[in-house]
């Protein structure tokens, strides 16, 4: 077993060691149709990154995440290229002259992991920068690890 300081989920692609790389949102409100919403889990500093976005962008991303929490796909969400199937989704929102993206996964039963939120700065047109794709891949791995540990605890406890 690796030590926490060596674990890439702990350091999150060059960030300082974080003892709690997954942020839990205790949102288990009733959905409009009487179903319980899935909780959101923010990987690494995604919640803090979300708070830095313009209000209109934050609202649009929050709206898309509410769809995901209800087990639905937001009209503005689309599968992220390179992640076969619709398990990893992105929402693109324009504001002023900038483009912002939120990437989340619904691969896991009962939870939505928010992987990355960022302002697109790639000079290569619509394509997402390699650095952002690498970070998304790393955070998805961390979400998988967290989900395995959480489901293991649930079965044992």
Please state, in angstroms and rounded to a whole number, the distance separating the CA atoms of residues 23 and 5.
18
Q: Among 17, 49, 60, which Cα is nearest to 8's?
A: 17
* pLDDT surpasses 50 at 156: yes
Question: How close are the terminal C-alpha atoms of the chain, in Å?
Answer: 22
Its pTM stands at 0.78
Please state, in angstroms and rounded to a whole number, the distance separating the CA atoms of residues 142 and 7.
10
Which percentage of the chain shows pLDDT scores above 90? Answer: 58
Taking only the tens place, the pLDDT of each residue in 5-64 is 455 564 443 333 344 455 554 444 444 555 678 999 999 999 999 999 999 999 999 999
Res 121: pLDDT: 79
For residue 83, give the 3-state DSSP assignment. coil
- pLDDT band at residue 80 under the 50/70/90 scheme: very high
For residue 153, give the 3-state DSSP assignment. helix
């Amino acid at each position: 077993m690796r030590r926490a300081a060596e674990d890439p989920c702990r350091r999150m692609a060059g960030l300082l060691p974080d003892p709690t790389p997954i942020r839990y949102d205790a949102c288990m409100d009733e959905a409009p149709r009487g179903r319980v919403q899935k909780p959101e889990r923010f990987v690494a500093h995604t919640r803090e990154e979300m708070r830095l976005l313009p209000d209109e962008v934050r609202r649009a991303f929050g709206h898309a995440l509410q769809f995901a929490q209800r087990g639905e796909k937001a009209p503005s969400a689309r599968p992220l290229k390179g992640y076969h199937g619709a398990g990893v989704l992105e929402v693109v929102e324009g504001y002023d002259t900038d483009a912002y993206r939120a990437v989340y996964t619904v691969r896991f039963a009962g939870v939505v992991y928010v992987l990355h939120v960022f302002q697109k700065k790639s000079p290569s047109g619509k394509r997402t920068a390699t650095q952002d794709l690498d970070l998304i891949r790393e955070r998805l791995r961390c979400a998988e690890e967290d989900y395995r540990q959480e489901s293991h605890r649930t079965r044992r406890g």
